[in-house]
Amino acid sequence: MTKRVLITGITGQDGAYLAKLLTENGCEVYGTYRRLSTPSFWRLQCLEIFHRINVVPIDLADTSSIMEAVQIAQPDEIYNLAAQSFVEASFEQPIATANVSGVSVTRFLEVIRQIKPDTKFYQASSSEMFGSTGAKAKSLTQGDTLSPLSPYAAAKLYAHWITNIYRAAYGMFACSGILFNHESPLRGLEFVTRKISNAVAKIKLGLEKELVLGNLEARRDWGYAPEYVEAMWLMLQQQEPKDYVVSTGEAHSVMEFVEKAFGILGLDSQDYVKTDKRFRRPLDVECLIGDSSKARTELAWSPKTDFAELVEIMVKEDLRRWERWLAGERFPWDAPAYPSEARILTRALRM
């Protein structure tokens, strides 16, 4: 029997890579997206899988909308990746962040409990939940103290704990992956890694003259997103639900990322990089390093792409994109919002 899977936030970086993995594993994939006048499916188009999935509009603030998505998909597994995922924006929109990234998880768990309790549920937790551990942080595990420093992290912490509560209270197969930073060429431009790789490519081609950043000293444990979604999938293939940290175990500063990115294209970062306090967060986590030994042992998962390879992948892909743009090529994100091969499902379309 073909496994049916529902991915919330399928238009994001992780959702797109996970959809690719699951379709390659023979699953029937349904994905939710936020109903907008011009929804963006460019990541799914870049991976050439948009025609292989079913997409369903959803409003995470509306329980009936979530219920409809679950009734349409009838999923064996749900991967909840939808969130307001940009830390800086959570300070500007704290209530919306709490609703979308936090309370909506309770809505999902309630819907599962009431109409399809045998569904396995994955919650995308975040390393930001740990908060500040000092400039020389120890490697963190799923058992360490959680002390969020942003509305985003607080919302994720609520979602993380409510998932644990439903698992314990109702015997649901519900688990959380505490993923440390994971990047790729599909990362949004609002994230610092992609902001850097995109700017370096444009500077190399003479399309920009400088790169302005905030905190260059912040250190993060950066991994490669396509490998991290594999860990998500493995968590739901286990006999019992458990929470896992997913990370590389190494931390690098924003400045290291900058220097590596410029060096790949033969440029000196000191000639182009400026800082501006406007790009600093009201509160910032100095350093985050994860200990994924539990995932390595129980899931047989480990990262394969190191920091230098990750930076090179991102910089060279952005360079290729801008070279193609200069040559007049069309990008997937320039295409119509609803390509002809789209399979966008609502209850009306199924009747």
Find the catalytic residue in 28, 128, 227, 259: 128
The pLDDT tens digits along the chain (351 residues) read 899 999 999 999 999 999 999 999 999 999 998 876 466 889 999 999 999 999 999 999 999 999 999 999 999 999 999 877 667 777 778 888 888 889 999 999 999 999 999 999 999 998 889 887 655 567 888 888 888 888 889 999 999 999 999 999 999 999 999 999 999 999 999 899 999 999 999 999 999 999 999 889 989 999 999 999 999 999 999 999 999 999 999 999 999 999 999 999 999 999 999 987 776 666 667 888 999 999 999 999 999 999 999 999 999 999 999 999 999 887 776 654 444 444 555 443 332
Pairing of strands 219-220, 252-253: antiparallel
Is 65 annotated in the active site? no
Is 329 annotated in the active site? no
Find the catalytic residue in 126, 176, 184, 269: 126
Domain 4-184+223-250+289-305+331-350: assigned CATH number = 3.40.50.720
Instruction: Give residue-wise pLDDT tens across range 165-179.
Output: 999 999 999 999 999
Angstrom distance (rounded) from CA 52 to CA 44: 10
Where do the domains of the chain lie?
4-184+223-250+289-305+331-350
Angstrom distance (rounded) from CA 135 to CA 75: 43
Would you state the pLDDT for residue 238?
97
Angstrom distance (rounded) from CA 112 to CA 163: 12
Angstrom distance (rounded) from CA 240 to CA 314: 36
Instruction: Give residue-wise pLDDT tens across range 224-270.
Output: 999 999 999 999 999 999 999 999 999 999 999 999 999 999 999 99
Find the catalytic residue in 152, 158, 166, 228: 152
Tokens of 301: 């998962």
Is 128 annotated in the active site? yes
